[in-house]
Every structure is written in structure tokens, then in C-alpha cells.
């Protein structure tokens, strides 16, 4: 609720960095006292969340340019409205989430024939059954992996690499410093107590990701796009700012190796 509230607040601005009319409509029509429960939306946090969503949108659009009928699997999607921002009329979309948030999503957002909702804990891996990977697969995990234990996060990455040869995965993480703060019970934007985020990763730890599975063949950074004002100007360059370099969230894209071809005369 906090995330969609802030994303909608940014999208409603005349100078918004993200066009998200579906989120604006959801917040306006949902029977939930957003402002009373969450306080006024904070412009800085709203822009950062919108820039994060825009960076993920760019990865999805690049994937769909190569695989117009591919499958996007959104893990822990909550009330994210990305489908309506990037839909090319041909993509197949699979939302994987726990039963309660999935039921809320089902009530608040319309879903069509190319969208499938799967009630499952992403760590259980049974959601992978029945996925058609023949036209390409992209797995997204926006605002999810930081809430897992490090071994669970690496295990999920490895399971995706094994299940979807030739596929792509994109996810975000908080810094190790921010992870430690969250575990100490500090308060975040708006005065809300941060939920514990056990997995934090700095840029240097990216070199450990290929150890999750031999099929992880490419690890790249996805920078935030430019935004509005000084915050938006700095967003793509946080790696170069000494005070932000080790305390910045990361968006990481992984590519998985293709499955080896069967040898001639093989089964």
C-alpha cells in the first residue's frame, strides 16, 4: 500500500517522471485510507520509487523487443501496475505472490487472458511448473529479495537459472548498511518502522552472484534513469558519489546460459 500510494502520488504530478494512470486510479478508487494511515506522500521517496519502477520497465521493454510474445514472471508483485505500463498486446504475464496480497490484487486490478495469478511463496519454486519458456522468460523481483535471508535469495536465483535456460532475471537490493539499519528497527521515510531486510548487497558483492548457479553467465548493473531536480540529476550517478556509493540500492540484471544442445544421435 505504501509503495503504490507513493508511486501514484508521483504519477499524478504534472511533471511526473513516471506515467502510471492505473496506480493513480487504484489509489483514488480503493477503499483504504491511504493518507490517514500512511501520512502525506513524501515527494523524494515517491520519485525514487517511480525511478526504480521506470528502470524495471526499461528492462521489460528491452526483453519484449527481443521476445514480443515472451513470458514475464513478476515475483512478489503486490499492487505493482507494471503490466499496464509495458503491455505490448502480446506478452504473457505471471504474477506470483502470497494468497492474501494476491487476493487484494485480484479485487483491485482487472486481469485479462494474458495474465495469470499464482498463489505461492516464491521460495517454494513450485510456481515454476507450467511456465512456457519457449518464447523467452524474464523473471522480475522488485522489492522482494531484500526480505529473504541471503541463502534464500541466492537459492531462488539459482533455481531460476536452472529452470529457465536462456532467460533473464532482474531484481533490486538494498545496501548492506541499509540492511543492518532495518534489522536494528530504525524508522524509514514517513516515520514507519522498517521491516527487517536480511539481505543487503553492495556493488562488490555482485561478483558472488555467479556462484548461485553455473548458468549465471552475465551480471550487469541497471542504473536509475534521470529524474527531476537535484535528486533526479544524481540518480543515475550514485556509484560515482562517495557518500552514496556504499549506501545505495542496486538493480541487477542476470542472464542465464542457454541449455546445451543434444549431441547428434542423442535422445
DSSP string, 147-201: GS-HHHHHHHHHHHHHHSTT-EEEEEEB-HHHHHHHHTT-B-GGGPBPPP---B-
Q: Look at residue 264 in the predicted model and tell me its pLDDT.
A: 57
In angstroms, the CA 253 to CA 243 distance is: 24
Give this prediction's pTM. Answer: 0.93
Q: Look at residue 266 in the predicted model and tell me its pLDDT.
A: 54
H helix or E strand, kind and range, residue 229: helix 229-234
Per domain, the residue ranges of the chain are: 44-256
Q: Which residue has the cell 506515467?
A: 19
What is the topology classification, in CATH, of domain 44-256? Rossmann fold (3.40.50)
- What's the average pLDDT block by block, 10 residues per block, for the chain (267 residues)? 95 97 96 91 94 98 98 97 98 97 95 96 94 95 96 97 97 94 72 83 93 96 96 89 82 93 58
**Chain-centre distance for alpha carbon 136:** 18
Q: Look at residue 35 in the predicted model and tell me its pLDDT.
A: 92
Q: For the segment 225-263, what is each residue's pLDDT rounded down to a tens digit?
A: 999 999 999 999 988 887 777 788 999 999 999 987 655
Q: Look at residue 154 in the predicted model and tell me its pLDDT.
A: 96
In angstroms, the CA 267 to CA 250 distance is: 43
| Sign, Cα dihedral of 111, 114, 118, 121 | negative
H helix or E strand, kind and range, residue 95: strand 92-97
In angstroms, the CA 40 to CA 29 distance is: 17
Q: For the segment 136-162, what is each residue's pLDDT rounded down to a tens digit?
A: 999 999 999 999 999 999 999 999 999
- If we measure between CA atoms, which residue out of 109, 170, 164 comes closest to residue 141? 170
Amino acid at each position: 500500500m505504501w509503495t503504490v500510494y507513493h508511486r501514484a502520488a508521483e504519477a499524478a504530478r504534472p511533471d511526473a517522471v513516471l506515467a502510471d494512470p492505473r496506480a493513480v486510479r487504484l489509489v483514488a478508487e480503493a477503499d483504504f485510507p491511504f493518507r490517514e494511515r500512511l501520512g502525506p506522500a513524501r515527494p523524494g521517496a515517491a520519485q525514487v520509487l517511480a525511478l526504480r519502477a521506470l528502470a524495471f520497465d526499461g528492462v521489460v521493454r528491452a526483453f519484449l523487443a527481443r521476445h514480443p510474445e515472451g513470458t514475464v514472471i513478476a515475483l512478489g508483485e503486490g499492487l505493482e501496475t507494471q503490466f499496464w505500463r509495458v503491455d505490448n498486446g502480446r506478452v504473457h504475464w505471471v504474477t506470483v505472490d502470497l494468497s492474501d496480497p494476491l487476493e487484494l490484487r485480484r479485487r483491485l486490478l482487472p486481469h485479462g487472458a494474458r495474465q495469470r495469478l499464482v498463489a505461492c511463496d516464491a521460495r517454494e519454486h513450485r510456481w515454476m511448473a507450467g511456465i512456457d519458456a519457449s518464447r523467452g522468460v524474464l523473471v522480475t523481483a522488485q522489492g522482494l529479495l531484500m526480505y529473504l535471508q541471503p541463502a534464500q535469495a541466492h537459492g531462488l536465483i539459482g533455481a531460476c537459472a536452472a529452470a529457465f535456460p536462456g532467460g533473464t532475471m532482474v531484481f533490486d537490493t538494498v545496501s548492506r548498511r541499509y540492511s543492518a539499519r532495518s534489522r536494528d528497527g530504525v524508522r524509514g521515510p514517513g516515520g514507519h518502522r522498517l521491516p527487517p531486510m536480511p539481505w543487503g548487497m553492495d556493488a562488490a558483492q555482485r561478483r558472488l552472484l555467479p556462484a548461485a548457479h553455473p548458468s549465471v553467465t552475465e551480471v550487469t548493473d541497471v542504473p536509475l534513469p534521470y529524474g527531476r531536480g537535484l535528486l533526479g540529476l544524481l540518480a543515475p550517478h550514485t556509484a560515482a558519489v562517495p557518500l552514496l556509493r556504499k549506501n545505495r540500492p542496486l538493480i541487477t540484471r542476470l542472464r542465464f546460459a542457454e541449455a546445451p544442445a543434444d549431441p547428434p544421435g542423442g535422445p
